[in-house]
Amino acid sequence: MSTFGSIFRVTTYGESHCKSVGCIVDGVPPNMSLTEEDIQPQLTRRRPGQSKLTTPRNEKDQVEIQSGTEFGKTLGTPIAMVVKNKDQRPHDYSEMDKYPRPSHADFTYQTKYGIKASSGGGRASARETIGRVAAGAIAEKFLQQINDVEIVAFVSSVGDCSMDRSCLNPDFMELLQNITREQVDAAGPIRCPDPEKAEKMTKIVEHYRDQHDSIGGVVTCVVRNVPIGLGEPAFDKLEALLAHAMLSIPASKGFEIGSGFEGTKIPGSKHNDPFVQKGDKLGTSTNNSGGIQGGISNGENIYFSVPFKSPATICQEQQTSTYEGSDGVLSSKGRHDPNVVPRAIPIIEAMTALVLADAYLIQKSRESTFGVVY
């Protein structure tokens, strides 16, 4: 469905060619200062076409808060947000509409619903993520205020060019400890903080773009200053909620936390994170667990990676079939994004914030009862 979260809860709406896209965010704590200026920056980072523009086109994807705040403060009531669509008209039927686009949602939407939006995939459109990013900006502000929580995502691979993101690589673990959102954006449109890799990744994207083809990549995200105790066993372990959130992002194909797939090769004696005193609380000297043990945050950095497939829309001719089963050739027109991972970054940050804000509030309801002598 279109609702995510239980206490801090977002419901999104909208597709490509309707009047607007947006969301309702319910359960936002009251008394928090909040205006459109807290939300717009991440929407702006999500916008298409950023890398080809010399001036920011601020007129696009402007968010407008409809409810839930007064005099710049949250009321504790639902916050609705609206972003107008520029192209509000469903398009007319064309020859190309006979073909479900390969690896797109055209076919599955048509079969599931018995109808589909003229734009094709309907809610599979990237515009659906606007509501998420707007809601996530509120969640993120809340987490910052509560515990200085920092969420930073960046591109860690494009095609076959990859940073070494092993949990055994001290440089990568150091980077996770220090990387800022500003550094990520300063790294150029590819949003990879390793300058050499960034240059190579950019060339890879240009290569596929010039061939009217596309290429995928991986985004890594780190969260610092997470309170201990977030996540609800057994089914709502914190990593399970994060995985759910990440796999709900269009074009994502996976998720790994901490040592991930490669970690299966590390024996327990080396993989286990020993406990050490850190300031006034217990921490771990390594962090192969990725900040979560038994489904519950342990106070160390949470970090995970998410692969995104090569975009399905390409301008090469593709041999495929019509809805009716006749073989044919589909030729897509127009300019298409040869690689989506840089734009996925604010979406990943948003979904991460939504998961953590909800988990935080649920845990707080429990902690409220600790002090009582039963």
Q: Which of residues 299-318 bind a second copy (CB under 8 A)?
A: 305, 307-314, 316, 318
Considering only 44-52, 55-63, 115-123, 186-194, which stretch makes contact with a second copy by CB under 8 A?
115-123
Q: Which has the closest alpha carbon to 230: 273, 291, 175?
A: 291
**Considering beta carbons, is residue 55 or 268 the nearer one to a second copy?**
268
Under the criterion CB under 8 A, does residue 332 sit at the interface with a second copy? Answer: no
Active site residue 97: no
x/- map, 267-306, a second copy, by CB under 8 A = xxx-xxxxxxx----x-x---xxx-xxxxxxx------x-
At residue 353, φ and ψ (nearest 5 deg) are -65, -40
Under the criterion CB under 8 A, does residue 335 sit at the interface with a second copy? Answer: no
Q: Is 239 left (phi over 0), alpha (psi -120 to 50) or beta?
A: alpha
Catalytic residue among 17, 194, 273, 358: 17
Separation between Cα atoms, residue 245 and residue 139, nearest integer Å: 14
Separation between Cα atoms, residue 53 and residue 115, nearest integer Å: 37
Q: Which of 135, 154, 222, 263 binds a second copy (CB under 8 A)?
A: 263
Direct distance between the N- and C-terminal alpha carbons of the chain, in angstroms, rounded to an integer? 40
**Considering beta carbons, is residue 100 or 342 the nearer one to a second copy?**
100
Number of residues that bind a second copy (CB under 8 A): 165
Active site residue 91: no
Q: Which residues neighbour 32 within 8 Å (Cβ) at sequence distance 6 or greater?
A: 73, 74, 141, 142, 145
Q: Give 195: exposed, middle or buried? Use CB within 10 Å, 0-12, 13-18, 19+.
A: exposed
Q: Give 110: exposed, middle or buried? Use CB within 10 Å, 0-12, 13-18, 19+.
A: middle
Under the criterion CB under 8 A, does residue 200 sit at the interface with a second copy? Answer: no
Active site residue 104: yes
Under the criterion CB under 8 A, does residue 148 sit at the interface with a second copy? Answer: no
Residues 12-71 that bind a second copy (CB under 8 A): 12-15, 17-22, 24, 26-27, 29-33, 64-71
x/- map, 159-198, a second copy, by CB under 8 A = xx--------------------------------------
Is the Cα dihedral 289, 292, 293, 294 positive or negative? negative
- What amino acid positions are annotated as catalytic residues? 17, 104, 337
